[in-house]
Structure formats: structure tokens, C-alpha cells
């Protein structure tokens, strides 16, 4: 992150001391240049050897900056190290020629010029890399740079164009050209960049601004009377060198994280404004001075016009892409990558219009069971990974026209346009089986995590007399079905099912906390949602026996909480010769549960759930019809659950175990009705 408490430049003692040292050096160099006007030896020493000191220092500081910076900035500084090596090589060769050439007037061009020109090229590449411009920023920079270069051409370079070309004139002419280009690009980047230009680049721009003036004057003096070591131009070039040294030290001591560079104030109109002003200024100057437009002005105007058109096309495409990115971010869940609740509500409203004209519409709510335990046990990063994997699985199972959204927390919602209720239920059941059958493997977690989910399905129904579908309460209906699925033991699909009335027990008049306790005990025992499943079996078996609704409800409620009674009391068969308190354990448990549920009508069923049809059970040794019918149903359902748990892959073996208890442990009539339901395939196993 950006360090907002960062000490300002003036607070860095090293930088301040170095800046003061640069001023002292500049004063010393200027003094020696002054004294050397009448002393050729001193002038040569000052202009050729002492001149090399800042170049060598700049090279060392560039190496320091290259080691301290990373990313594009580090790459740029490594290129600048190579540029400064070329610079030092050029100045060293030049000094050698000055000392060895008769009269101290080196020929042009020499190897020194090759070093200087290579330094310019490497510097331009380094600047481009350091600022990492994208297409629009590059076009903006080129527009402003072209405008600046046009002015530089007319003001600085055009007067230097020689009447006849020779190698010396050509090389001399290149120095101000390169300086103008680099300076124009730097100024353009500072004016048009979308991020704030780092301080070292600002110092670079100032340094090359000085270089533009010095190189132009050098070109003039070379034409008029040649270069000498006594020239005051060396002082100007020393200013350039010292600014570049300061830029390298700033970059090394205060490296910036380019990922968090602050944005600049956008001035998107500036490139066009600069281009228009430059063309207008050049045209006005031509008309005033010569009465007609020059070819340079016409060429510049044409190039800037083409650049402006290209820039507008690029800007329009970037705005479109940016708008799409904002839209996507606004409707997408950042963690899972699926759509968010806001987008679901928008699409539900849109699909509701179609549904009101009788096009089917269904909604499926998905809630991961016991997801809080995943976060509590393994931590939130693992929980996030699980949510992402679940979202991927759900998405792969849906059609292209279906919509999957994260509804909140561990809840997802599927919007199924043109889908009837039964098809929605079947889809939800496939999703449930897919989640249940394949545990989620998470890196860093030794064992894959087993997951189940509860599903609530709702389908738009025709409003009586209108012929239109009712969609206003679609989500609320799905939510109520999801709540029922949770209350009945989780890991199930409710709503719009083909056997909805036969497959599920109605909501039972039991405290939610007691139902939760039964489910938690099942989870701890590792038997799945056994209590809820046994309750459902008891409801359907009682219905198959033709019992009245009140008896069916009472039987299902007693089966739902029966497993809690054996938590701390003796519910197993009494030991031979055991005292009455031990035999009374189931009775005590029955009264305790009935008190907790505020359901005294459950006591006879809970107390007799361990009796046997032949009278060999406990606690009272009841037999046959003396055992409440609801208790006989619960005994059989619990026996089937035990048999299926003992032989999970063999329903036939579980059936044999029940038949072995016919007339002894189990009531034959209840057993026949139960096995009839098994044969029909309407009884689901504990999941």
C-alpha cells in the first residue's frame, strides 16, 4: 500500500545533504571554469577530467537504484545503467582525444559520438518502460510530444539545419534532436499520464530541459567557432548531470510500488488542446513571417489530425470496456464468480414479466448444511474455497439459460426460466446428489470435506380465473420450503416434488431448539439425519396403516426426538435382576422429553418405544395391542434404520433382519405396511 506517513523529500537528510553537495560542486566547477579562461591547462583539466566525476557518480547511483527497485522501474534503471556506461565511455574517449589531438580539437565523428548517441536511445527506451504506458496513454503522450517536437523543430532545430550535409554536421545536428525528443516525451507523460509521474522522472524532465538548451547552444557554437574546454556549456551539462544523479538517488532511497501508484488528475482534453494550439501557433507564425503556410506546419497539422482521430477511437473503446467492467463488478460475487443477489433480483423482475404471460418460472434456493462447522474447524480460507467449489459444481449442472447467483453467506439461488415445478425439483435433486456424492478436496486439508445441502423449490402457479402465473411470492415460497427441509433433517429437496405429500412429514409442533439438538446428536454420532428420516418413515407408515392425522402427527413428532432420550438415561434393555430404577430409564427419558417439548401426549409413545410385540421388551413388558400403535411404528422404523446402518449396501439383508423379528419384536401388520412402502420405493435411506 501507499505509505501516507512517508517522510517528504526535504525530510530525508541524505537527499538534502546530497543536494547541498551538488550545489557546492556546481559552484566549485563554475569557479574553476572561470579561472581556466586564461589558463589552458586548468581549463582542459576542468572541462575534460573533472567533468567526468558526476558522470561516474551517476553511474554508481544508477547501479544502486537498479538494485533497489523492482518490476518495470528496475528494468528501466538497468537500461539506464547501460546508458550511463555508454555516456562515461563517450566522455572518456572525448577526453582522450582532447589530450592527444594536436591543438586539443578532436575530430567529429568519433567513438565518443557513438557512446553519446547510444546513451540517448537507451534512455528513451528506459523512460518508456518505466512509465508502462497503455495504448491511450501512449497516444496522448505522442500527441503532446509531437506538438512539443514541432515547436522544438521550428525554434531549436530548424535554424541548425546545415546548408550542406557532412558526417560532422549530421552528428552535431542529432544531439539537439534527441534532447528535444526526450524532453518532449517526458513533458507529455507528466501532462497526460493516468498515474502520477514519480519524482525521479520529474527530475529527468528538468535535466533534459537543460540539455535541450545546452545541446542547441553547442550546435550553434560548433558551427560558428568550434568547441573548446573553456566553454561555459560544461557548467550547464554539469547541472544536467547533477539532476540525473539526484534522480537516481531518489529512486534508490524512495522506491515506489508501481501497483499502488496514485492516480493523477485526469486532463483528457489536454492532448487535443495542445495539438490545436501548436498547429494554430505554427500557422500564425508562418503567415506573419512569410505570408504562407510552410510544409512543416502542414505536415504537423496532418499528423496531429490523424493522431487525434485514432485517439478518439481508442478512447471510445476504452470507455466501453471500462463500463462493462464496472457493470460486471456490480453484478458479480467477488468470491465465487457467480452473479450476486442484486442481479438475481433484476433478472427475477425481468423473467416475471414473461411468467405473467403463462411462461413457466421456477426458483431453487440452496443452503449448505452445517457450513459454520467448516469455518469453525478449518478456518475461513477453507470455507471460501468450499464455497467457490460448490458454485462451480452448481454452475456446471445448469443450462445456459438458467441463472446461478450467490444469495448470501452459504446460500445460492437458481432462477430457472421456462421450467415447470417438477423439472425444477428433479434438477434440485440432481444437484443435491452431486454435492453429497463427491466430497470437496481443499489444498491444505488432509481429508476431503463431505458436504450436503438443503433445497427449497418454488414454481409460479396460475392465479385462479386470470390465466396468469403468480410470481410475487416465488422467493418467499422457496425460502419456506428450504426452512422445512432444514427442520426435517437437512440434505433434502422440498417443494414442487412429484411425491411431495407422500415423501415428507408436515411441520411438527416441536421447539426448534429440540429439533436442532436431535440433528446435532445425529451429526456427532455419524449417522446422518437419522432422526428426521425415521420421523418421515413413521409418518408414511402411519398413513399406510390408515391412522388418523392426529395420530400420524404424534407418531412423527415422537420419532423426531426419540434419539435424544437415550443421551444420558438407560434406554437399553435392563440387565437380568436389575433394580426398578434402571428399568424405569425410558419412562424418565419420555417424561423429560415431553416436558422439554411441552407435549405430554408424546409420553406413552416415547416410553413404549422399546417394548416388543411378544412382550419381551421394557420397561413394562407390554405385548401386542397393549403397546400404543405409534410406539410399534417407531420401533419398526428404528429397527430398519439399524439394519440399513449395519448393512448400508444391502437392502436385502436389512429386509431379512426385519422379517426375522416378525411377530417377536415387530407387529406383523406394521411390518407388512412398512415393507409395502419399501417395495414401492417411496422410502428414502438415511442420507
CB 445 within 8 A of CB 438: no
CB atoms within 10 A of CB 235: 17
Whole-angstrom distance, CA of residue 59 vs CA of residue 64: 9
- Per-residue HEC secondary structure of 537-599 comes to HHHHHHHHCCCCHHHHHHHHHHHHHHHHHHCCCCCCCCCCCCCHHHHCHHHHHHHHHHHHHCC
Whole-angstrom distance, CA of residue 665 vs CA of residue 613: 5
Sequence-ordered list of residues with C-beta below 8 angstroms from that of 205, at least 6 positions apart, any chain = 183, 186, 187, 190
pLDDT category of residue 497 using cuts at 50, 70 and 90: low
The arithmetic mean of pLDDT across residues 243-272, rounded, is 66
370: left (phi over 0), alpha (psi -120 to 50) or beta: left
Every domain of the chain with CATH number 1.10.3210.10 lies at 505-687
Query: Which helix (H) or strand (E) segment is 520 a member of?
Result: helix 512-525
Tell me the pLDDT tens digit for each residue of 630-685: 999 999 999 988 888 887 767 888 888 889 999 899 999 999 989 888 887 767 66
Every domain of the chain with CATH number 1.20.1070 lies at 13-267
pLDDT category of residue 390 using cuts at 50, 70 and 90: very high
Question: 332-499 in CATH: which number?
Answer: 3.30.70.270
Whole-angstrom distance, CA of residue 178 vs CA of residue 168: 16
Bridge partners (DSSP) listed for residue 456:
365, 494
Pick from 452, 465, 463, 457: which is nearest to 503 by CA? 457
H-assigned helices in 405-499: 421-437, 474-487
CB 91 within 8 A of CB 50: no
Q: Regarding the domain with residue range 505-687, which homologous superfamily does it belong to in the CATH classification?
A: Hypothetical protein af1432 (1.10.3210.10)
Burial class (CB in 10 A: 0-12, 13-18, 19+), 482: buried
What pLDDT is recorded for position 322? 72
Burial class (CB in 10 A: 0-12, 13-18, 19+), 270: middle
* Mean pLDDT, rounded, of the chain: 77
Bridge partners (DSSP) listed for residue 404:
414
The arithmetic mean of pLDDT across residues 418-434, rounded, is 89
Burial class (CB in 10 A: 0-12, 13-18, 19+), 608: buried
Whole-angstrom distance, CA of residue 636 vs CA of residue 672: 11
Reply yes or no on whether the pLDDT at 48 is more than 70: yes
List the grid coordinates of 42: 586548468
What pLDDT is recorded for position 119? 85
In the chain, pLDDT over 90 holds for what percent of residues? Answer: 16
Dmax of the chain from CA atoms? 135
Sequence-ordered list of residues with C-beta below 8 angstroms from that of 46, at least 6 positions apart, any chain = 29, 32, 33, 36, 229, 234
Number of H helices, E strands in the chain: 26, 7
Domain 13-267 matching CATH 1.20.1070: the answer reads yes
* Residue 214 or residue 53, greater confidence: 53
CB 23 within 8 A of CB 30: no
Burial class (CB in 10 A: 0-12, 13-18, 19+), 349: exposed
List the grid coordinates of 165: 550535409
Tell me the pLDDT tens digit for each residue of 438-455: 889 988 888 889 888 999
Tell me the pLDDT tens digit for each residue of 66-101: 998 888 888 888 999 999 999 899 889 888 888 887
Every domain of the chain with CATH number 3.30.70.270 lies at 332-499
CB 615 within 8 A of CB 621: yes
The arithmetic mean of pLDDT across residues 133-140, rounded, is 53
Tell me the pLDDT tens digit for each residue of 174-214: 665 666 666 666 665 555 554 566 788 788 878 877 877 77
Whole-angstrom distance, CA of residue 643 vs CA of residue 685: 11
3-class SS of residue 411: strand
Amino acid at each position: 500500500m501507499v505509505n501516507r506517513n512517508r517522510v517528504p523529500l526535504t525530510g530525508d537528510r541524505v537527499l538534502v545533504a546530497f543536494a547541498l553537495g551538488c550545489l557546492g560542486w556546481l559552484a566549485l566547477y563554475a569557479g574553476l571554469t572561470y579561472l581556466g579562461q586564461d589558463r589552458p591547462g586548468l581549463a582542459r583539466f576542468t572541462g575534460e577530467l573533472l567533468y567526468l566525476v558526476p558522470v561516474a557518480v551517476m553511474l554508481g547511483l544508477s547501479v544502486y537504484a537498479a538494485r533497489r527497485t523492482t518490476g518495470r522501474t528496475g528494468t528501466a534503471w538497468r537500461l539506464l545503467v547501460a546508458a550511463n556506461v555508454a555516456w562515461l565511455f563517450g566522455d572518456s574517449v572525448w577526453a582522450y582525444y582532447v589530450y592527444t589531438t594536436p591543438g586539443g580539437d578532436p575530430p567529429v565523428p568519433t567513438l565518443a559520438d557513438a557512446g553519446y548517441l547510444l546513451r540517448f536511445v537507451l534512455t528513451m527506451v528506459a523512460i518508456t518502460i518505466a512509465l508502462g504506458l497503455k495504448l491511450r496513454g501512449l497516444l496522448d503522450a505522442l500527441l503532446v510530444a509531437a506538438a512539443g517536437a514541432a515547436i522544438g523543430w521550428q525554434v531549436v532545430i530548424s535554424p541548425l539545419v546545415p546548408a550542406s550535409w557532412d558526417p560532422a554536421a549530421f552528428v552535431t545536428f542529432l544531439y539537439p534532436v534527441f534532447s528535444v525528443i526526450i524532453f518532449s516525451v517526458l513533458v507529455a507523460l507528466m501532462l497526460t499520464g493516468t498515474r502520477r509521474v514519480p519524482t525521479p522522472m520529474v527530475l529527468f524532465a528538468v535535466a533534459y530541459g537543460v540539455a535541450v538548451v545546452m545541446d542547441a547552444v553547442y550546435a550553434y557554437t560548433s558551427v560558428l567557432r568550434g568547441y573548446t574546454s573553456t566553454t561555459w556549456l560544461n557548467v550547464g551539462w554539469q547541472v544536467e548531470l547533477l539532476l540525473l544523479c539526484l534522480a537516481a538517488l531518489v529512486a534508490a532511497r524512495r522506491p515506489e510500488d508501481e501497483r499502488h501508484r496514485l492516480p493523477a488528475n485526469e486532463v483528457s482534453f489536454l492532448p487535443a488542446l495542445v495539438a490545436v494550439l501548436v498547429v494554430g501557433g505554427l500557422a500564425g507564425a508562418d503567415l506573419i513571417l512569410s505570408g504562407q503556410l510552410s510544409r512543416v506546419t502542414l505536415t504537423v497539422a496532418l499528423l496531429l489530425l490523424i493522431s487525434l482521430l485514432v485517439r478518439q477511437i481508442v478512447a471510445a473503446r476504452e470507455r466501453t470496456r471500462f463500463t462493462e467492467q464496472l457493470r460486471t463488478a456490480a453484478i458479480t460475487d467477488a468470491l465465487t464468480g457467480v452473479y450476486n443477489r442484486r442481479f438475481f433480483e433484476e433478472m427475477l423482475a425481468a423473467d416475471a414479466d414473461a411468467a405473467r404471460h403463462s411462461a413457466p418460472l421456477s426458483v431453487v434456493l440452496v443452503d449448505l448444511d452445517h457450513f459454520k462447522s467448516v469455518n469453525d474447524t478449518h478456518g475461513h480460507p477453507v470455507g471460501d474455497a468450499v464455497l467457490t467449489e460448490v458454485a462451480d459444481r452448481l454452475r456446471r449442472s445448469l443450462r445456459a439459460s438458467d441463472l446461478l447467483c450467490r444469495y448470501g453467506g452459504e446460500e445460492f439461488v437458481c432462477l430457472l426460466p421456462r421450467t415447470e415445478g417438477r423439472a425444477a425439483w428433479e434438477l434440485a435433486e440432481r444437484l443435491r446428489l452431486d454435492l453429497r456424492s463427491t466430497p470437496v478436496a481443499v489444498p491444505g486439508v488432509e481429508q476431503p470435506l463431505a458436504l450436503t445441502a438443503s433445497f427449497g423449490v418454488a414454481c409460479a402457479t396460475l392465479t385462479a380465473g386470470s390465466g396468469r402465473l403468480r410470481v410475487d411470492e416465488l422467493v418467499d415460497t422457496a425460502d419456506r420450503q428450504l426452512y422445512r427441509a432444514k427442520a426435517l433433517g437437512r440434505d433434502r429437496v422440498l417443494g414442487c416434488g412429484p411425491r411431495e405429500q407422500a415423501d415428507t412429514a408436515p411441520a411438527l409442533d416441536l421447539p426448534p431448539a429440540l429439533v436442532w439438538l436431535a440433528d446435532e446428536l445425529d451429526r456427532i454420532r455419524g449417522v446422518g439425519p437419522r432422526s428426521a428420516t425415521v420421523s418421515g418413515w413413521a409418518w408414511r407408515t402411519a398413513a399406510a396403516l390408515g391412522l388418523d392425522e392426529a395420530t400420524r402427527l404424534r407418531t412423527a413428532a415422537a420419532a423426531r426426538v426419540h434419539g435424544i432420550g437415550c443421551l444420558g438415561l438407560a434406554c437399553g434393555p435392563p440387565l437380568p435382576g436389575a433394580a426398578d430404577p434402571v428399568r424405569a430409564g425410558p419412562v424418565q427419558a419420555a417424561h423429560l422429553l415431553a416436558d422439554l417439548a411441552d407435549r405430554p401426549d408424546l409420553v406413552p409413545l416415547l416410553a413404549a418405544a422399546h417394548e416388543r410385540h411378544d412382550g419381551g421388551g421394557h420397561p413394562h413388558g407390554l405385548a401386542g395391542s397393549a403397546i400404543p400403535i405409534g410406539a410399534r411404528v417407531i420401533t419398526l422404523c428404528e429397527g430398519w434404520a439399524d439394519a440399513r446402518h449395519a448393512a448400508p449396501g444391502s437392502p436385502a439383508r436389512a429386509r431379512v433382519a426385519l422379517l426375522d423379528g416378525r411377530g417377536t419384536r415387530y407387529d406383523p401388520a406394521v411390518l407388512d405396511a412398512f415393507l409395502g412402502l419399501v417395495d414401492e420405493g417411496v422410502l428414502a435411506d438415511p442420507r
